[in-house]
Amino acid sequence: MKDDHGDKAMFWAGGTDMMLHWQRQKYHPEFCIDLTRLDNIGDINVEADKITIGALVSLTDLENSSDRHHLLATLSTVTKLMCTPQTRTIATVGGNMCNASPAADLSPVFVATGAEAVIFGSSGERRVSMFDFFEDVNKTALRGGEMLKEIVIPLPQERQIAASYRRIDRTVVDIALVNASTALTVDGDNTITMAVVALGAVAPVIVRSDAAGAGLIGKVVSDVDDGALTAAGEAAAADAKPISDVRASADYRRDMVKVMVRRSLSDCIEQLKG
């Protein structure tokens, strides 16, 4: 149907963002393709080497999955910051991704944890990293009649991963002024082998600051001091390209990137120290 009607038809999952776009005349759909009755992409599966989150998983279901894996516990705390309890029952994880807001709360966590989007369309299935999934504000790697099927978070083998998310907002039921998610992977000796820093609301897409992560690789978790965390925050702020808008000035956002990254990394380190 999407192939037949092109831009006139829009996929509709929870619709919590779409309804607002529609009311504000941003989109003029002639057909809404309701996805909520598809039943095989609404599950969360935890396996030894990956966690799969179906695109139609509601934010409430994600929130309630916290006891199934520690990364799901991190995602659960993120969902609690999103909209309201009665909107989370209908809003979906896939919808949050496909709306591609640079301030979306889940996006930086998926980027930090190295997750991949599984996309399917009439020509079959393909995979794109969540980092490449976002192309611009409200624009994703989906083409033509393609749909997001699920998000896959790979789990490192014989290593541990910890992820955290921090954000600054103005008030309740608000989007982030700035957010950051970080993920640290350590080997058996608690030496950091991978450090990913992802920033939201500081560019049209999620920014991944490789410079911020680079300074931590090779360090033993217990040796990471405040100086190293501050340096990572500074490096991340240098990679941010924030704008000034009604919510905050660019300078404030850049300053807050430093704080969010430092705190988020420090959360990860606490988790890894156990």
Residue with smaller CB distance to another protein, 89 or 191? 89
CA distances from 103 to 176, 179, 259 (A): 6, 7, 17
CA 53 – CA 78 distance, rounded (Å): 15
- Interface with another protein in residues 210-229 (CB under 8 A): none
Identify the DSSP state of 58. B
Cα distances (Å, whole numbers) of residue 47 to 34, 54, 153, 247, 264: 29, 14, 10, 40, 26
Q: Does residue 84 touch another protein according to CB under 8 A?
A: yes
Maximum CA pair distance of the chain?
Answer: 58
Q: Which of residues 85-144 bind another protein (CB under 8 A)?
A: 85-87, 89-90
Note whether 66 binds another protein by CB under 8 A: no
What's the rounded Cα separation, in Å, for the pair 73 and 38? Answer: 26
Q: Which is nearer to another protein, 86 or 157 (CB)?
A: 86
Q: Which is nearer to another protein, 22 or 120 (CB)?
A: 22
Closest approach, Cβ 171 to another protein, in A, equals: 11
Residues 6-35 interacting with another protein (rule: CB under 8 A):
12, 14-16, 19-20, 23, 32, 34
Candidate list 172, 188, 189, 227; residue touching another protein; CB under 8 A: 172
Q: Any idea what the Cα angle at residue 152 is, between residues 151 and 157, rounded to 5°?
A: 165
Shortest distance (Å) from residue 181 CB to another protein: 23
By CB under 8 A, name the one of 43, 47, 139, 173 that touches another protein: 173
